[in-house]
């Protein structure tokens, strides 16, 4: 695997020998095209297939309680080299020569064909994802696999701009009007939503709701009759009478106190009888 790391170092532009940061991507692009013409891309595809079929690595990873980065060091290096190939070949540059343009076209055609008489590279990567999700290969670096799959699809099928152009060309060839709206732009403005729940989850939620539902005793509500309504009116009238009596009481006390004070004054003004 030292040779694999050496090729990865060259494909990334040999950063230790670069005088500036701007020189590294330029050297990386030149080195990737040289490695592609030398057949290194097909060689690394063979190495990828060998690592996928390596059952001993998967067995060792399954026996461990936790998977570490050391369990997939070789596979990570191979995927990094392939990702560098795909990303450099995918993006065009103004300084590309005619040979580089022909190499880019040949590379995109190769990705759309079976690798070594077997499946496409995208199909191989999808199979790696399925094995990882099933739990049979927990040591697969799934992030690197997803990134390589994403770039491979972009090179093979094109991006959203290419899809929009092909849709317009096919509609024009069939004498159809232009598309009223772009589905990609509509999807970008749509609100994110959670996926619908499965039937098993709904049944389980209903069962939990039934088991956790507390017992509620429904009390009967007696409707008020006409007699009750009259009694309520009578009680209200009695309350008003009591309130009037309470208001009259202090007035009566005030008047009685005033009359007693007047009597005292009158008695003080009367002449006293001689003894």
What confidence tens digit (pLDDT) does each residue in 132-147 have?
Answer: 998 888 889 999 999 9
Q: Residue 98, Cα to own-chain centre: how many angstroms?
A: 44
Please, is 86 exposed, middle or buried when counting C-beta atoms within 10 Å of its C-beta (0-12, 13-18, 19+)? buried
Q: What is the pLDDT of residue 206?
A: 80
Could you give the angle at the alpha carbon of 131 between the alpha carbons of 54 and 118, nearest 5°?
65
DSSP string, 121-177: HHHHHHHHHHHHHHTS-TTS-HHHHHHHHHHHHHHHH--HHHHHHHHHHHHHHTTPP
> In the structure, what pLDDT confidence band is assigned to residue 192 with cuts at 50, 70 and 90?
confident
For the chain, what percent of residues have pLDDT higher than 70?
Answer: 75
Q: What is the pLDDT of residue 31?
A: 94
189-212 mean pLDDT: 76
- Give the span between the Cα atoms of 194 and 146, in whole angstroms: 22
49-67 mean pLDDT: 81
> In the structure, what pLDDT confidence band is assigned to residue 178 with cuts at 50, 70 and 90?
confident
Q: Which sign, positive or negative, has the C-alpha torsion 96, 100, 105, 109? A: negative
Whether the CB-CB separation of 39 and 109 falls below 8 Å is answered with no
> Does the pLDDT at position 81 exceed 50?
yes
Comparing 98 with 62, the larger pLDDT belongs to 98
Please, is 89 exposed, middle or buried when counting C-beta atoms within 10 Å of its C-beta (0-12, 13-18, 19+)? buried
pTM for the whole thing?
Answer: 0.63
Retrieve residue 223's tokens: 């409707």
Q: What is the pLDDT of residue 70?
A: 79
For the chain, what percent of residues have pLDDT higher than 90?
Answer: 32
Give how far Cα 9 sits from Cα of 17, 24, 26, 39, 65, Å.
Answer: 11, 11, 14, 17, 33
> Does the pLDDT at position 240 exceed 80?
no
Comparing 164 with 231, the larger pLDDT belongs to 164
């Amino acid at each position: 695997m030292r040779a694999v790391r050496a090729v990865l170092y060259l494909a990334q532009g040999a950063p230790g020998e670069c005088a500036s940061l701007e020189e590294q991507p330029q050297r990386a692009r030149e080195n990737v095209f040289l490695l592609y013409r030398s057949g290194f891309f097909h060689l690394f595809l063979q190495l990828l297939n060998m690592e996928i079929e390596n059952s001993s690595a998967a067995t060792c990873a399954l026996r461990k309680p936790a998977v570490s980065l050391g369990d997939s060091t070789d596979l990570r290096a191979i995927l990094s080299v392939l990702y560098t190939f795909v990303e450099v070949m995918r993006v065009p540059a103004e300084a590309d020569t005619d040979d580089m343009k022909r190499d880019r076209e040949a590379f995109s055609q190769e990705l759309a064909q079976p690798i070594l008489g077997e499946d496409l590279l995208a199909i191989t990567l999808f199979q790696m994802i399925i094995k990882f999700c099933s739990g049979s290969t927990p040591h697969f670096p799934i992030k690197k696999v997803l990134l390589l799959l994403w770039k491979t699809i972009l090179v093979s099928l094109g991006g959203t701009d290419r899809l929009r152009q092909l849709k317009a060309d096919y509609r024009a060839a069939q004498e159809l009007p232009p598309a009223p709206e772009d589905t990609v732009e509509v999807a970008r403005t749509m609100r994110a939503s959670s996926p619908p729940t499965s039937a098993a989850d709904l049944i389980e939620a209903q069962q939990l709701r039934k088991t956790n539902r507390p017992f509620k005793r429904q009390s009967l509500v007696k409707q008020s009759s006409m007699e009750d309504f009259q009694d309520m009116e009578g009680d209200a009238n009695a309350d008003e009478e009591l309130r009037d009596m309470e208001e009259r009481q202090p007035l009566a006390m005030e008047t009685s106190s005033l009359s007693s004070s007047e009597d005292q004054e009158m008695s003080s003004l009367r002449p006293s009888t001689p003894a």
